[in-house]
Every structure is written in C-alpha cells, then in structure tokens.
Amino acid sequence: MRKALLSGNEAIARGAYEAGIQVATGYPGTPSSEILREIAAQYGAEIYAEWSTNEKVSMDAAAGAAYSGRRTLVTTKQVGMNVLADALLYTVYTGVEAGLVVVTSDDPGMFSSQNEQDNRWYARLAKIPMLEPQDSQEAKDYIIAGIELSERFDTPVLFRTGMRVSHSKTVVELGDRGASPEDVPPFVRNQQKYVCTAMWAKLRHPIVEQRIRDLAEYAETSPLNRIVWGDRSLGIITSGVTATYVREVFPNASVLTLGMTYPLPENKIRDFASQVERVLVIEELDPFLEEQIRAFGIEVTGKELFPPCDELLPDTLQAIGVENGMISADKTVQPVNKEMAGLPPRTPVLCAGCPHRSTYYWLAKMKMPVAGDIGCYNLGCLPPFNAQHTMGCMGASIGVLHGMSIAGMPERGVATIGDSTFFHSGIPALANMVHNQSVGVTIIMDNGTTAMTGHQDHPGTDWTLHSKTAPRVPIEPLVRALGVKQVRTVDAFDVAAVKAGLDEALAYDDGPAVLITEGPCVQVTRPPLTDYAVDSDTCIACGTCFRLGCPAIIKSTEVNEKTGKRKAAIDPNQCVGCDMCRQVCPVSAIHGPEEAAQ
C-alpha cells in the first residue's frame, strides 16, 4: 500500500485524479489555491485545469463540461462562493451528465479573508448535499464519494474544507486512477432539463425537492456518517476538523461524526441522542447543525457554550469542557507563559522591491480618499501609508469610488485595484463609471500576476496553468475600448512618473480617469541582492525614505545631532535595488551600485 503525507488540498487533487475527474476550474483564493496548482503539476496529463477569470466563470465552465459528460471539479475560497453562487444555483435544477463537485475552502479565524461566513448554508439554500472531510485521507475519499453521489442523484455536490483541513498534512493511502471516457458523446439536447427557462424550470423544482428527500434517506445509512460509542453520559455531534479536536479533548465521549452535513440523517441523530444522557453539538462558526437538530425536536447544547466567532480550537474546547464539568481540570496543561506582552509585533509588509510602493507613497502624501481592493496592495491600509479607506470584496473599489463620486463627495477620489482583480470583476464597474459619467481616478496596479495567492495567471498574462504560451488581453486598450478618455500607463518604479500620472488623472473631470502603474511582482522577477547604501554624512534624518515602508530601510544607530532623529540605513540582506528610496531622498544621500563604484 502506497502512503503519502499530503495536505488537504493535495489530497483533494489526488481525489480528483482517482475519481476520474477530467476538468478542474477555479479562481485562486486562500486557503483553496493549492488544489488546482497541484492538479496541474501532478496530474496535468489526465486532468485539464484552468484559472478562470472569476469564480462565476469557473462554475459556468464546469457546468458546460459536466453537461458534456466530463467529471468536473470547481474550487473556490468561501467568499468566492458568493460570486460563484449564481451559476451553482441553476445547476441545482439542471443536474449533470457526469459528476460535478464544488469545493469551498472556508476560513474560520480569517487568516486571509474579509469575513468568516459559513458556507454550509449554501447547501441548504441550494438543496444539494454537503460533504466535509476531517483530514487529508477523507479529503481524498470524499471527492470520490462526491462524484459518485453527484452521478447517482444527478446533482452538483458541495464539498467544504477550512484552512486546517486544506493546509494541514496527514497520512493518505493512495489509490489508482478511476475510469474516465476518452471521448465525449455528442452534446445532449435535453432542453427541458438544461434550459432553465421558467416553464421548464417549474417542472424541475419538484425533482429538486424529491432529490433532497432521497438524499436525506441515503444519509441515514451512509458510511459518511458514523458513531463511535464511548461513555453514554455525553454524546457529541460534530464534523470536519472539529471532530479531530473533539476526539482529543473528549476522549471518552460517544461521538457522531457527520461526513455529510446536509441533508441530515434525522433518524440516526434521534437514535444517537436517545442513547446518551446529554447531547452537545460542537461546530465551528454558525449553529448550522444545531438549529436543524433542534427543529427535529431533539434537545441539544451548542452555541450557548461554544462561540460562533473564530476557530474553535482544542484550547477553547478544553476550557469550555473544564468550566462545565465535562472533563476534569487535572488533564489541562498549564501554559508556562500566558503573556508575552511587549514583544515587537511582526506585521506583514509590502516586500522590498514591490512595485505597489510608489503608488501608496504618493496616496499617503496626497491624503485623498482611497477605495481599496483585494490583493497584496491591501497592505496600503497599514502604516506607514494608512492610505486606503474602504475595502470589501473583489472588484469593489471601482464601484465604491463611483458611489462616492455620485454622492457628491467634496474631494476627488481614487480606487486602487490589481490586474487580476480588475479582470475578475473590475471591468463591469469601470464600464458603469463611463456610462453613468462619474468622476474619479482608478489606479490599476499591474504587477503581471495574481500575487497574493501564489502568482497564478489571469487573462493579462501570456501563459496559463495548462500552457506556457497564451494570448494576453492587454489592459490599456481594453480600458480605452470601455470608453475611458483619460488613460496613461507609467513605470511603477519611476516615482516621479507615478506622481505626474496621478496629477494628470486627478485634474481630469470629464468622466473617469485611469492610471496604470506597471511593474512586475518582485517575487516573480526575484532580482539579486544589490548594494544600495545610505551615505550617513549626507543623510539628514528627514524620514522621507521611511515613508516608503520598505523592510530594507532601517533606522541607523547614527543620529542627526540637531534633531536627535535617527538616520537611515539599508539592510543589504533585503534590498533588491528597486531604486525608489534613491529617487525620493531630498538630499541625494542614497546611492545605487554604479554611483558607489564611481
């Protein structure tokens, strides 16, 4: 038997391989991004994988592939599901010709998300099954089970992980590639099934209702839902990674672990509850299981003890268990050092050599209101810039800027958006500004990749996940074609050019203006370290270079004797020679390698 230590995301990719999946689509988002990367890297010969322009496009493409007879996988992070949902909801009515599984990677604890939404509700809203693995072995197995369920019940299947399942590594037994057709048959012309026009969709709705009842019956005997009997004084109903915490913190309790969290096996739960003295429902985030179980008329304890916010980690379970007399306190291990107060924080920063730095340097100086967006450049909201005043979701910046403008805001506003995010959902908002004639500056910060999630491709890159070459959709002509009259592209590493471009755009008041700041992501170009240096005798400790917020610019031990302020120095282990600090220094105290050699 072959064993491997796989992350949940790697195991999902392996599951796709073993389940005979042939098409995989998605848009990157933490903690889901590694699934398609792994599919392309390990199983690219068997599975076509692509980064689609956004989640909705990825879901429409998946629907088309599944209608055509290819087993298909879609991946998204939890908030991407909101974008994807419109497309998912029609596939609920149509069903599929071949298996279709949609993976949503939720983010309890908000390690890299704007909210903590619980995507189990989508299963209930859509009336389709939801599978939730607790570790990598189950992640692999449940993808295979999901494809089987999808084909058996003619339904899309939801599959949910959290950061802990997606990013933790556990041991997995590997299997072989399942059967999949080489060629697909001619497209099925079944209009009453696949055209969701009202008269036919009406006929499909009762089928959806019957299907979820059939699935609830299946859930009663499904091996996905299982009971491990222990002490009958305490019974716990749980799911996902939380089940692993429950086993650790309540080792003696009886536990019903639900691998399928929608629809619920009512009779199985009733039977379990009747055989234990007290039932706890322990679930991360919302009382999704709890409310349904209460509606069955079963008495349980849940959210009155276990908080709905943040991860529900073993520490929290332990504390609640002890406090309520469910486990004895002597098993708790006391922490050595409860508080490490006063340690300097290590917050994330724009990398040394980041092309976004010049834009936020000026926005911070000019102090205009900035509507921000999702990407590394969201770090522009932190010191030393503090130059971003709203941020909500992918593509929101341009729409919010439009709203600020039509509200009659007394200042000229700015939106900042990255290249991948612009393609994802910025384009319709910019077309809206043109059509509805609002004024404001959109800065498209084009670093040539989807940087924050691990440097994925997008329509503006000349490669794809599947192919080394691809036609690029160029941003400037696209913006002009939308009808934007004031458009300029500048080199992001030319600090003065960024300022000039910004001034010109801000002066334009006959509709929206666009400034494109172009400069490749430093993590992609990986320039070598270089010997920029500060001439300490010339440095006046004015602090201008510190306002670039570069991790390579550090406080020197030398001070300006008049002001007592510390001078600047450059950390040679971090500087990659982007040159911005040399450009902003008012006294020419910073030298690049050529000047130093002269």
Block residue for tokens 């003696």: 252
Kindly state the tokens that stand for 220: 């009663």
Strand partners, 74: 25, 102
- Of 303 and 555, the one with the shorter C-beta distance to another protein is 555
Taking the complex as a whole, the smallest distance from the CB of residue 4 to another protein amounts, in Å, to: 9
- Of 30 and 239, the one with the shorter C-beta distance to another protein is 30
- Of 66 and 552, the one with the shorter C-beta distance to another protein is 552
- Of 20 and 31, the one with the shorter C-beta distance to another protein is 31
- Of 310 and 595, the one with the shorter C-beta distance to another protein is 310
- Of 321 and 399, the one with the shorter C-beta distance to another protein is 321
The Cα–Cα gap between 381 and 374 comes to: 11
The Cα–Cα gap between 378 and 354 comes to: 13
- Of 245 and 288, the one with the shorter C-beta distance to another protein is 245
The Cα–Cα gap between 255 and 232 comes to: 10
- For 459-466, the CB contacts below 8 A with 24+ separation are 459/53, 459/423, 460/419, 460/420, 460/423, 464/50, 464/51, 465/36, 465/37, 465/40, 465/49, 465/50, 465/51, 466/40, 466/44, 466/48, 466/49, 466/50
Taking the complex as a whole, the smallest distance from the CB of residue 276 to another protein amounts, in Å, to: 20
Taking the complex as a whole, the smallest distance from the CB of residue 487 to another protein amounts, in Å, to: 30
Taking the complex as a whole, the smallest distance from the CB of residue 439 to another protein amounts, in Å, to: 33
- Of 3 and 202, the one with the shorter C-beta distance to another protein is 3
Taking the complex as a whole, the smallest distance from the CB of residue 139 to another protein amounts, in Å, to: 12
- Of 179 and 336, the one with the shorter C-beta distance to another protein is 336
The Cα–Cα gap between 269 and 345 comes to: 46
Taking the complex as a whole, the smallest distance from the CB of residue 282 to another protein amounts, in Å, to: 13
Could you tell me which of 67, 73, 70 has the C-alpha nearest to residue 36?
73
Taking the complex as a whole, the smallest distance from the CB of residue 313 to another protein amounts, in Å, to: 6
| Buried-exposed string 277-307: b where 16+ CB fall within 10 A, e elsewhere | eebbbbbbbbbbbbebbeeeebebbbeeebe
Q: How far is CA 456 from CA 62, 381, 508, in A?
A: 19, 24, 34
Taking the complex as a whole, the smallest distance from the CB of residue 491 to another protein amounts, in Å, to: 23
DSSP annotation of 334: P
- Of 277 and 315, the one with the shorter C-beta distance to another protein is 315
Q: How far is CA 554 from CA 36, 51, 254, 255, 575, in A?
A: 39, 39, 57, 54, 11
| Distance, first Cα to last Cα, the chain | 65
Block residue for tokens 């690219």: 44
**Torsion angle of C-alpha atoms 140, 142, 143, 148, degrees rounded to 10:** 140
Contact 549, 385 (CB under 8 A): yes
- Of 235 and 549, the one with the shorter C-beta distance to another protein is 549
DSSP annotation of 84: H
Taking the complex as a whole, the smallest distance from the CB of residue 338 to another protein amounts, in Å, to: 7
Kindly state the tokens that stand for 451: 């940087």
Taking the complex as a whole, the smallest distance from the CB of residue 312 to another protein amounts, in Å, to: 11
Taking the complex as a whole, the smallest distance from the CB of residue 318 to another protein amounts, in Å, to: 6
Taking the complex as a whole, the smallest distance from the CB of residue 340 to another protein amounts, in Å, to: 6
Burial class (CB in 10 A: 0-12, 13-18, 19+), 409: middle
| Residues 6+ away with beta carbon under 8 Å from 130 | 120, 122, 123, 157, 158, 159, 160, 260, 261, 262
- Of 125 and 319, the one with the shorter C-beta distance to another protein is 319
Kindly state the tokens that stand for 572: 């040679």
Kindly state the tokens that stand for 527: 């320039």
Residues of the shown chain interacting with another protein in the complex, contacts defined by CB under 8 A? 3, 5, 30-31, 111-112, 135, 163-164, 167-171, 241, 244-245, 247-249, 313-315, 318, 332-340, 343-351, 376, 379, 384, 452, 546, 549, 551, 553-555, 566, 571
Q: Which helix (H) or strand (E) holds 568?
A: strand 566-570
Taking the complex as a whole, the smallest distance from the CB of residue 418 to another protein amounts, in Å, to: 14
- Of 312 and 513, the one with the shorter C-beta distance to another protein is 312
Contact 268, 298 (CB under 8 A): no
DSSP annotation of 351: P
Strand partners, 289: none
- Of 173 and 271, the one with the shorter C-beta distance to another protein is 173
Taking the complex as a whole, the smallest distance from the CB of residue 192 to another protein amounts, in Å, to: 46
